Amino acid sequence: MAPTVASAGVEEVIWDSGFNWPVMFNGALSNLGYISGVAVPVDQEQRWWAEPISIPAGGCTITGVDLNYFITRGRQPAVVKYIIWRRTGFAAPVDGDQVASGTLGPNTSFGADDGTGPDPGPGGNDPRTPFAEDWYFDFPGQSIALAAGDYYFTVYGDGTMSSGSIPESTAPYLAWFTGAQGQLESQEQTHGWRSTNFPSPGFLFYAPSNVAPQTGQDADDCWNPTFRLKGTGPGLRKLSGRVLFNDYDGQKPNFVTFEVRAAGTSTVLSYQSMGLGSNGEYELNIPTRDGTTFDVSLQKTQLYVDPLGIAPDVVYTNWLRRTLQGVNFAASSHVMDFSLLNADLDDDNEITIGDYSILSGNFGGVGPVGDVNGDNEVDIGDFAILSGNFGMVGDD
The 10s digit of each residue's pLDDT in 292-314 is 899 999 988 888 766 445 555 67
pLDDT of residue 302: 83
In the predicted model, is pLDDT for residue 223 greater than 60?
yes
Helix, strand counts (H, E) of the chain: 2, 26
Residues 159 and 274 in one domain: no
How far apart CA 338 and CA 213 sit, in angstroms, is: 29
382 SS3 class: helix
For residues 186 and 51, membership in a common domain is answered with yes
Q: How far apart are CA 173 and CA 163, in angstroms?
A: 16
Tens-digit pLDDT profile for residues 118-160: 444 557 788 777 776 778 999 999 999 999 999 999 999 887 7
Domain finish residue from 289, 309, 340? 340
CB 230 within 8 A of CB 11: yes
The answer to whether residue 95 sits within a structural domain is yes
Phi, psi of 292 (to 5 degrees): -130, -15
CB-based contacts of 154, cutoff 8 Å, min separation 6: 36, 48, 49, 50, 51, 82, 83, 84, 85
Q: Which long-range contacts (CB under 8 A, 24 or more apart) does 311-318 make?
A: 311/22, 311/29, 312/255, 314/253, 314/368, 316/253, 317/344, 317/345, 317/347, 318/248, 318/342, 318/343, 318/344, 318/345, 318/372
The whole-angstrom distance between residue 330's C-alpha and the CA centroid of its chain comes to 24
Furthest-apart CA atoms within the chain: distance in Å: 72
210 in the same domain as 289: no
The contacts of residue 379 (CB under 8 Å, 6+ apart) are 363, 364
DSSP for residue 383: H
Q: What would the mean pLDDT of 64-87 be, rounded to a whole number?
A: 87
Identify whether residues 314 and 269 lie together within a single domain.
yes
Instruction: Please tell me whether residues 59 and 103 are part of one structural domain.
Output: yes
Q: In this structure, are residues 5 and 277 in contact, taking their beta carbons and an 8 Å threshold? A: no
Q: Which domain holds residue 314?
A: 237-340
Does residue 168 sit in the same domain as residue 25? yes
Amino acid 285: pLDDT: 84
56 shares a domain with 196: yes
- Residue 129 has a pLDDT of 78
In a domain, 329, yes or no: yes
What's the whole-model pTM score? 0.84
> Does 162 lie in the same domain as 282?
no
Residue ending a domain, among 204, 232, 260, is: 232
* Mean of pLDDT values over 344-373: 94
Q: Looking at residues 175-194, what average pLDDT do you find?
A: 92
Domain count, the chain: 2
Band the pLDDT of 37: cuts 50, 70, 90. Answer: confident
| CATH assignment of the domain containing 273 | 2.60.40.1120
